[in-house]
Amino acid sequence: MECRQCGTCCVAPDISSLGKPAGVHCRHLGDDFRCRDYDGRPAVCRGYRPDELCRLIAAPTMDERVRRYRAIFDI
């Protein structure tokens, strides 16, 4: 599946290597939902690939996408 660059995977999950809690925008996430530290992003970001989850959480707003993501993982 192709990444739609919706930005949700940079907001919804907690990312310990960035000290980022779940549901909080990563400090490197730009307003255009692109990573502003692409070359310096941690391994967990480098290894992330779009999959079925991206389709399941798809929604018009970030709030709704995050809500769907967190509901799926119960976080």
Residues that bind ligand SF4 (CB under 6 A): 3-10, 15, 26, 28-29, 35, 37, 41, 45, 50, 54
Tokens 């990563």 locate to 26
Residue 1 CB, nearest distance to ligand SF4 (Å)? 8
Nearer to ligand SF4, 28 or 70 (CB): 28
CA-to-CA separations, 42 to 12, 29, 31, in angstroms, rounded: 16, 13, 20
* CA 12 to the chain's CA centroid: 5
Nearer to ligand SF4, 5 or 16 (CB): 5
Q: Tell me the two tokens of residue 23.
A: 């549901």
Residue 31 CB, nearest distance to ligand SF4 (Å)? 12
